[in-house]
Homo-oligomer: A and B are copies of this chain.
């Protein structure tokens, strides 16, 4: 039997399906043994009375992504991944975003430079396709997919990002042909622009009107449309950051019919409400994200969706804009219109603790579901499984040892991102990561970061097993 560089002893281990008490043997960064009792390792961790879970895979987060409006993301790959690992996440998949009129391959190159030498945990890239020219569709995408960029996000809103339905169909057709996987930001762009204009005419520009401008119907419509386009092309898609009951209803409708429609939600739709945008002064800007948080009743629908199969994944959608900063939320000052406030909230470090405490500890979801939603499913969805996302022989030893008893009250000062606030300030939690291990290496321990800058490696993604068409009934015509 192999020798072990590290043995984690006596923990309670959970995967997406199982819970067991055993030792974990690690060799050269991989899990090589699970057993009732393992021989001594070079290094040992006693995990008695602790949970050992797969490190989180945050499949939707933004860091150091170039912006068009003069805003700047406060987290680069160093602080972003540092924050991630302190919250129990060991893999991130941020976005290499094509600028309209430019090469997608170039965007990938550029993004690699931003990550290399900085990331402290492993990372893959989703592509954001904003300009699917024939060259991009026929040349760049197939090549990039072959190189391990197998998923892309497309936008139905934001002027600098959005695709027409026609362009969306073209991208979906490439995904179908190449076996790639498409994530859709589903909000109706025209509706939002129209609402924003109407509100502006009425002088309704404070942060709370961000939510007014993006009511659920706007998300529901785009969700139905995305489903319809995917149905026409016969290709699976995933709807990202689903916020409430109306979009959920459309997704369930599709899933019930046997369509391969997947969905993601985020902590902001479980923990925040529209009321958080309606704070004194400009404070509400801290919670401006799209879609906006809804209300308590919708939070319950999202919680239900974590159990009943609507959602396969929960991501942070970490978008690190500082609050009191001219390149952040206050890019137009504290009296500017909500429409110029950078969208998004930080959350890469709080994702797992929030969901663990309110989900697992409160009995809303079980431990296996927690692991599935936060690690195994995202790894499978985006072609990183079995290297990432589980505790299995041969998988990377990306592990988190949880102290399920630890009481923590969230405060921004304890977080490791480069942002000056957290929307979850003051929330009391039970259960928190104690040790984070990346490829067999302890990178975080009892509040102390040990990870060396730049140790994170780029992950080339395989094809997603979720991306398979149904191939049922009349196929779409393929030349």
Contacts and interface: CB of A to CB of B under 8 A. Distances in A.
A427 interface: no
Among A165, A371, A477, chain B packs the most CB atoms within 10 A around the CB of A477
A442 to B, nearest CB: 22
Interface stretch (A44-52, A185-193, A276-284, A320-328): A185-193
Interface string A242-268: 000000010010011110000000000
B308 A308 contact: no
17 contacts: A1-B1, A1-B38, A17-B18, A18-B390, A19-B386, A20-B394, A32-B36, A34-B34, A34-B393, A169-B190, A198-B479, A218-B228, A224-B225, A256-B256, A258-B301, A300-B472, A309-B309
A366 B189 CA distance: 37
Given A169-B194, A198-B477, A231-B217, A36 B2 contact: yes
B15 A202 contact: no
Contact of A15 (B15, B27, B201): B15
A1 B39 contact: yes
A188 B228 contact: yes
Interface in A211-233: 212, 215, 217-218, 220-221, 224-225, 228-229, 231-232
Nearest to A220: B228
A465 interface: yes
Interface in A421-475: 465, 468, 472, 474
Interface of A: 1-2, 15-22, 25, 27, 32-39, 164-166, 168-170, 188-191, 193-195, 198-199, 201-202, 204, 212, 215, 217-218, 220-221, 224-225, 228-229, 231-232, 249, 252, 255-258, 300-301, 304, 307-309, 363, 366, 368, 371-372, 376, 386, 390, 392-395, 465, 468, 472, 474, 476-479
A36 B36 contact: no
A249 B258 CA distance: 12
Contacts of A395: 20
A170 B198 CA distance: 11
Given A165-B188, A215-B232, 8 more contacts: A20-B386, A21-B394, A35-B35, A165-B190, A166-B193, A191-B228, A195-B232, A198-B479
Contact of A33 (B34, B307, B371): B34
B477 A212 contact: yes
Given A18-B16, A191-B232, A300 B35 contact: no
A18 B477 contact: no
A15 B188 CA distance: 41
Contacts of A195: 232, 476-477
A387 B474 CA distance: 46
Given A256-B252, A477-B202, A17 B376 contact: yes
A366 B38 CA distance: 32
Contacts of A390: 17-18
A255 to B, nearest CB: 5
Q: Which 4 A-B pairs have the closest CB atoms?
A: A309-B309, A258-B304, A16-B17, A165-B190
A195 B193 CA distance: 29
A308 B255 contact: yes
A198 B477 CA distance: 6
A194 B215 contact: no
A441 to B, nearest CB: 19
Nearest to A478: B198
A394 B232 contact: no
Nearest to A233: B194
B479 A201 contact: yes
B35 A393 contact: yes
B17 A479 contact: no
Contacts of A35: 1-2, 25, 32-35, 393
B221 A225 contact: yes
A178 to B, nearest CB: 17
A386 B252 CA distance: 31
A392 B18 CA distance: 7
A195 B366 CA distance: 32
Contacts of A193: 166
Contacts of A19: 386, 392
A22 B34 CA distance: 10
